[in-house]
A = this chain, B = another copy of it.
């Protein structure tokens, strides 16, 4: 590859002759790793013109660099970074000294330090990845996605999609969601009541910013999706964790001065329990009593392969009290970053204005590709295929778990893609996960899902969305083996529900 002439600058404060400055500039480029072996330098004429120096100056500098083996010349075809040029150090500090800025003082607000459970970036290379929330490339309909992306790259669509939408969304995607996706959940919404987001996480974040302040109180499930807890703690509102039971969040346990209730009625995250209809009504009544709002994260409703999903909580809401969060991360893929918010217009208006300020709008091409994939029926077909694969895997996994005497703490009655598991009381599942990783098994320790100081350490999540059915039994056997090794410490102390 040729190094573009625009890459070359003479530093305005530099010392020395022009010729030595040029030499130094090129040598530094090579030493810092910016210019790599075999790359072609600009011609002496071009570089001289660009830098505003005489051509002979550049030629002498190049000749010096040739002599020092930084460069090599290939006759008339020009100058190249030599194969014998000094090798840049593996670690190249960009500044010689440390920053003059005291970053401890300069940073006004800290956001790092949340306890998102980390999966290894190369999880795909592990033999037994019982990890949650990643797409299985074997199940995804890559060919049709590609065709839809191509369609959205056609001249007419493309021209429409390259422009700045300001605060608007792709009308085709909005229409499909309104007419088809939401109607499956029993929800009726107009386009002004829908906002496309960068995944469910972005939807939850926007909602929190609009509804909560330092003076307001949120209730959230315990255990719950850890990123939601981080989002709420960053917003500095008061947070009450409400311990869930086998039916999800118990309405009576929500404190009376709550402003916003966050819940996952379809599949409680992470226990996978489904909230029964009578409790949904109770929850709506409780919220009406307190004049609180409810944020319903309806993740994974598409994965109901055992029976039809119950309608969303939002479909029972006549007050405009429920804000609904949907996502395509599970049913398409998480790298897509596409979700949506449904709520009353005054709320959506503020969320839209905030989104415009933070990022304007999700990329147009991504929205249109999804709109095609959905409206051509590929999404429905994909869900059926995934449902059938997940069904098989779940049966294999159920059998393996029973065979090895591992304890299930929660499993979705409608389907889902994971089991919520419980180890003996003395077992730290973080330690278990560490030992298993060394043996090619990835599990998710449950610790990060719990709130407060006395978090349970003996839960873990086993997902079957990324592991082929044929490997499940062996993986579960390894988990059982390591579990036995670990629980020699406290095996007898099997307590009650958290």
Contacts and interface: CB of A to CB of B under 8 A. Distances in A.
Contacts of A351: 111
A71 B161 CA distance: 38
Given A135-B162, A162-B137, A198-B359, A366 B364 contact: no
Interface in A342-393: 344, 346-347, 349-354, 356-366, 377, 380
Contact of A344 (B101, B149, B159): B101
Interface in A315-347: 315-316, 318-321, 329, 333-338, 344, 346-347
Interface in A267-321: 277, 288, 291, 293, 308, 311, 315-316, 318-321
Interface in A234-279: 234, 259, 277
A9 B311 contact: yes
A103 interface: yes
Contacts of A102: 291
A438 interface: no
A308 B50 contact: yes
Interface in A1-43: 1, 4, 6-7, 9, 11-13, 29, 32-34
B95 A320 contact: yes
A4 B110 contact: no
Given A4-B180, A112-B353, A363-B363, A358 B202 contact: yes
A146 to B, nearest CB: 5
Interface in A90-145: 92-104, 106-114, 116, 118-119, 121, 124, 133-135, 137, 140, 142, 145
Interface stretch (A73-81, A185-193, A440-448, A480-488): A185-193
Contacts of A188: 32, 34, 94
Given A111-B357, A114-B357, A362-B337, A101 B34 contact: no
Interface residues of A, number: 128
A225 interface: no
A173 interface: no
Given A32-B188, A94-B193, 11 more contacts: A4-B184, A93-B190, A101-B320, A106-B293, A112-B349, A149-B365, A201-B358, A202-B358, A234-B357, A335-B363, A337-B363
A346 B335 CA distance: 26
A155 to B, nearest CB: 7
Interface string A407-420: 00000000000000
